[in-house]
Chain A
Amino acid sequence: MSWEMFVLVPGSPLLSGVIWLVVGVALLYLARSAAHQAIASASRLLHHACKLAARSVLLAEQRLKQRNNEVLLAAGREAAERIIEREFERIDASVQRDLAEYPALQRQMSEAIARLEQDYHASAEVPPEPPAWAKVVDAVAKIAPKEPVVGEILEDIHDSMVRAQRTAIEQYRNDNSKRHRILSRMMPLWRKVARVLGEMDKRVNRLLDRSTAIDRHMASYEDILNRSPRAERMLSSSSLTQFFIAGAVLAVAIGGAIINFHLIARPMQEMVGGSSYIMGYKAANIAALVIILVEVAMGLFLMESLRITRLFPIIAALDDRLRVRMIWVAFLFLLALASIEAGLAFMREKLSQDDASLVASLVGGQGEMNAVAANVWITTAAQMGMGFILPFALTFVAIPLESFVHSSRTVLGIVGQGLLRALSFLLRLTGNIFRHGGNMLIRLYDLVIFLPLWVEQRLLARNKAAPAEHPALTVEDAS
């Protein structure tokens, strides 16, 4: 089909164009009402469709938000439960450790107090008893004061009494000295009692501190249970922080894993061959990757068994004896893999030396090789050290991985929410564009046929038969 078939007047395409224009405008003028309605209906249909879709998306966003909140609160509840559980474990340990000694302390205190009491009684001052026969002497002295015999007797009695008094004073002094000794013996006992009381005070205070911490955690736990907006805000912010921090640490760990991979990939060719491929990848590279992944998996199991992470509930639920066995098995596997890696790192260095020596012999430069070989033990030792340490370092990937997995649920939910909200906005915008676009099309339609419309208006004005102006239809009018 060529444009020539549209030329109505041969040799005059301009005239043909004008004829076509007139015909077209006339047809458009005749179809004006129907065209306006069609445009209005189409734009209304598209507007409503977009509006409906936007509402559905908004509802989906609301549901996602609700679900995210559920997830967030559940995660927060679980974390708070873990913290509270841990605090209780600490209190339990504290009670077991500190208060288990309480009976012993009490016994020590009782013994000390009993001894103090005993010593106290022992140190009580007993006044010296006057001789029993003093009254007899007094009576005798009253009976016959002028008898010489009596005087002698009294003299004897006086001497005896002086002697007895001396003895009593001596005895009294001895007793006092004993009492002082007893009292000085009581001093360490008092100190001991004070120390024991101080120790008990410290332990009780420690328990009180723990209980204050539990109160604080319980308050936030209650906030979470009550679904308070404050708790939601805090959890959301904490989750985002966790996501970015864990992501950064994981990136560092991935860097370590890549170094580890390069450390063992080449020597693995000695074991599995350098010319075999699996799915387009060198078997040696895959083997090296598998070793690293096994190390990471063992690290995960170790961390799970140690109850540092909780990615596998089945491991956390194992009974303690089995769990301890699992710890040892995972650790031994890691140790074996670390030793293998150290061996492979050593082999890598040997292979590198062999390669360098071959290349030097092929392209020259043996002298340089010898100079390099002098310090080669440093790189060998460094590579072996790295080969041994990196598997254990990779073990700790489990901690950021757990944080990343948990926080990514929330972050993905937030991202999904944002996307849905943006989609809803776009749909509403598109709906409005369709509505106003329909109106604009109707105006443009009238613009194309402005000439017949103007003629029509003039005729109507002249006849004064019709209303002053034939208004153009809008989407609303057409509907």
Chain B
Amino acid sequence: MKRRILALTAALVLLLTACSDETSHSRGVYMLLDTSGTYTRELEKAQQIINFVLSKLQPGDSFAVARIKTGSFSEKDIIARVTFDGQPSRANLQKRQFREEIDKFVANVKPSAYTDITGGLLQAIEYLDEKAPGRKTVLIFSDMKEELAAGYVREAIPLQMQGYEVVALNVSKLRSDNVDPREYMDRLAHWRQRVEAGGATWRVLNDLERLEALFVD
């Protein structure tokens, strides 16, 4: 009798183990904030986007916000990161703490001299690959004009972004873009080519009233 019970329990455990889903259904979002030069004045808009993303993320999702500065391929540039707890009440608490960290950062941010977007993207890839969520999204809040300090090697590095979705947000036009709009278009085309060559999808979202489009499945 005992053997039968043991066998039955083992079969049940096996069945439950077989039923458990190993596929990740969570979402990982990594947001890069451009803090170079005059773009720091746009950070209030970035706060708005971060708050929107926080309101949309679910328990189990991951979110990190990092700054783009002279050299951005570093964990130190991650301003805040979190993987939300499975319990919705704890997740809400984590969201509140996250927002406070971002508010603190925006209040004290200092502009950087250069803009290392590639370095930030590489850091995003590293972070999201490590978290391995079901859906990976990189949000780039920048004018997408990369300016590297002397000695920094970035252009030759290919981006490995299979399964990623990259969204460029609030890509503002520079004064030179107004003189020659082709510069702006070429800049976006260049980034699209780099991202898509890495296997990711590319989108530009300049109208912040349409943030809902960020999480359209």
> B185: shortest Cβ distance to chain A, in Å?
33
**Cross-chain contact of A363 among B51, B60, B88 (Cβ < 8 A):** B51
Say yes or no: is A47 at the interface (Cβ < 8 Å to chain B). Answer: no
User: Quick one: which of A266, A351, A362 contacts B55, CB cutoff 8 A?
Assistant: A362
> Does A89 have its Cβ within 8 Å of any Cβ on chain B?
no
The residue in B26, B61, B89, B96 that gathers the most chain A C-beta atoms within 10 A of its C-beta is B89
Q: Which residue from A266, A270, A277, A351 sits with its C-beta under 8 Å from B23?
A: A277
User: Is A269 a contact of B59 with CB atoms below 8 Å?
Assistant: yes
Taking a contact as CB atoms under 8 Å apart, the answer to whether A359 and B59 are in contact is: no
The reply to whether B89 and A277 contact each other, CB–CB distance below 8 Å, is no
Instruction: Name the CB-closest residue of A to B90.
Output: A270
CA distance A362 to B92 in the complex (A): 11
**What CA separation (Å) do A280 and B88 show in the bound complex?**
20
Which B residue sits closest to A276, measured CB to CB? B86
Across-interface contacts of A358 in B (CB, < 8 A): 55, 92, 95-96
In contact, A269 and B87 (Cβ under 8 angstroms): yes
Q: Are A278 and B87 in contact (CB under 8 A)?
A: no
> Total interface residues on A, using CB and 8 Å?
22
A279 x B88 contact (CB < 8 A): no
Residues in A neighbouring B92, C-beta threshold 8 A: 354-355, 358
Beta-carbon contacts under 8 Å, A259-280 to B = 266, 269-270, 272-280
Interface string of B84-116 (1 = CB under 8 A from A): 101111011001100100000000000000000
Q: Is A361 an interface residue (CB 8 A)?
A: yes
- Name the distance in Å between B50's Cβ and chain A's nearest Cβ: 9
A246 → chain B closest CB, angstroms? 33
Asked if B176 CB lies within 8 Å of chain A CBs, one says: no
Contact of A269 with B86 in the complex, beta carbons under 8 Å? yes
B45 within 8 A of partner (CB)? no
Taking each of A274, A276, A358, which has the highest tally of chain B beta carbons within 10 Å of its own beta carbon?
A274
Are B51 and A273 touching (Cβ within 8 A)?
no
**Chain B, residue nearest A266 (CB):** B88
Residues of A within 8 A of B60 (CB): 273-276
Q: Say whether B156 faces chain A, with CB atoms less than 8 Å apart.
A: no
Shortest CB-to-CB span from A81 to chain B, Å, is 39
The tally of CB-CB contacts under 8 A between chains A and B is 67
| Residue numbers in B under 8 Å from A275 (CB-CB) | 25-26, 58-61, 84, 86
Please tell me the number of chain B residues within 8 Å of chain A, measured between CB atoms. Answer: 24
Contact call A273/B87, Cβ cutoff below 8 A = yes
Q: Mark A342-358, 1 if CB is under 8 A from B, else 0.
A: 00000000010011001
Q: Does the CB pair B89–A270 fall under 8 Å?
A: yes
- B217, CB-defined interface residue at 8 Å: no
* B:36-91 near A, CB below 8 Å: 51-52, 54-55, 58-61, 84, 86-89, 91
Q: How far is the CA of A269 from the CA of B20 in the complex (A)?
A: 16
B14 within 8 A of A: no
A270 to B95, CA, bound (A): 16
Q: In whole angstroms, what is the CA distance A54 to B86 when docked?
A: 61
Q: How far is the CA of A183 from the CA of B86 in the complex (A)?
A: 93
- Decide: A274 near B25, CB < 8 A? Known: A354-B92, A358-B95: no
Instruction: Name the CB-closest residue of B to A274.
Output: B59
From 341 to 391 in chain A, residues with beta carbon under 8 angstroms from any chain B beta carbon are 351, 354-355, 358-359, 361-363
Chain A residues in 8 Å Cβ range of B23: 277, 280
Instruction: Find out whether the CB atom of B19 lies under 8 angstroms from the CB atom of A362.
Output: no
Decide: B89 and A363 in contact? CB cutoff 8 A. Answer: no
Inter-chain contact A361/B96, CB cutoff 8 Å: yes
Q: Does B209 contact A (CB under 8 A)?
A: no
Is the CB–CB distance between B21 and A274 below 8 Å?
Answer: no
A361–B91 Cα gap in the complex (Å)? 15
Partner of A362, one of B20, B52, B61: B52
* Complex: chain A residue closest to B22, CB-CB: A277
Nearest-Cβ distance from residue B145 to partner chain A, whole angstroms: 30
- Assess the B91–A274 pair: CB atoms within 8 A: yes
Complex Cα gap A279–B21 (Å): 5
Q: Does the CB pair A362–B99 fall under 8 Å?
A: yes
Once A269-B86, A274-B86, A275-B86 are accepted as A-B contacts, the answer to whether A363 and B52 lie under 8 Å apart by CB is yes
Complex CA–CA separation, A272 to B21 (angstroms): 14
Name the A residues within 8 Å of B19 (CB-CB): 278-279
| Chain B residues with CB below 8 A from A354, complex form | 88-89, 92
Given contacts A358-B95, A362-B52, A362-B99, 17 further A-B contacts (CB under 8 A): A269-B88, A273-B59, A273-B60, A273-B87, A274-B58, A275-B26, A277-B23, A277-B25, A278-B21, A279-B19, A280-B23, A359-B55, A361-B96, A361-B99, A362-B51, A362-B55, A363-B51
Identify 6 residue pairs between A and B in the complex whose beta-carbon atoms are under 8 Å apart, listed by A's number.
Answer: A269-B59, A274-B58, A274-B91, A275-B25, A362-B54, A362-B55
